[in-house]
Amino acid sequence: MENEKIVEVCDEAAGEPTRDAVIDEELLIEEISIDGMCGVY
Amino acid sequence: MSLLDTPLELDPQVALRPEPFGALAYHYGTRRLVFMKHRDVVAVAQQLTAHPSLSAALQACGIAESRWPSFAKAFATLNESEIVRERPVAG
């Protein structure tokens, strides 16, 4: 989607990722536009 | 001035709905819907007004400094999306 923006952090220097490191590399937020969906059920 | 040093607040037109994965943030003005995909992001967003800067809110929420760059990026995107905004400092 045009309004979708992905925020990612890649840490190639890290060894085996810990749980927190995996979380940091994941998407913390995801934006979705619902414009134009009025009336869609 | 880095966003980490900026006082922020949730936009008054934003409704935050906690979910098991984190929260949904909906802006009634722009009709933008944002998924906050981690509870830590939600916790920080809810604490923004209680702290003088984003970094202070991150620290108060116990976010490890190694994660601050990710959060700074996330809140920069939230700022661009008008989900959060700079908070005027009373002077």
Inform me whether the pLDDT recorded for B64 exceeds 90: yes
> Does the global pTM surpass 0.90?
no
> Which tokens go with A17?
């990722």
Interface check for A14 against chain B (CB to CB < 8 A): the answer is no
Mean pLDDT in residue range B66-87: 95
CA distance B37 to chain A (A): 5
Minimum-distance CB partner of B70 among A3, A28, A33: A28
pLDDT of residue A38: 58
CA distance B46 to B87: 14
Q: Which of B17, B33, B68, B83 to mutate to test the interface with A (most CBs of A within 10 A)?
A: B33
What is the CB neighbour count within 10 angstroms for residue B44? 25
Contact B11, B83 (CB under 8 A): yes
Cβ atoms of B84 and B15 within 8 Å: the answer is: no
Cβ atoms of B83 and B10 closer than 8 Å: yes
Q: Which residue from B55, B60, B91, B52 is spatially nearest to B75, judged by alpha carbons?
A: B55
In Å, how far is B91's CA from the nearest CA of chain A? Answer: 33
Q: Is the confidence at residue A24, as pLDDT, over 50?
A: no
Model confidence over B6-58: pLDDT tens digits? 999 999 999 999 999 999 999 999 889 999 999 999 999 999 999 999 999 99
* Phi/psi at B53 (5° precision): -160, 165
Nearest Cβ partner for B81 among A9, A31, A34: A31
* Structure confidence at residue B73 (pLDDT): 93
**pLDDT band at residue A7 using 50, 70 and 90 as cut-offs:** low
Complex ipTM: 0.73
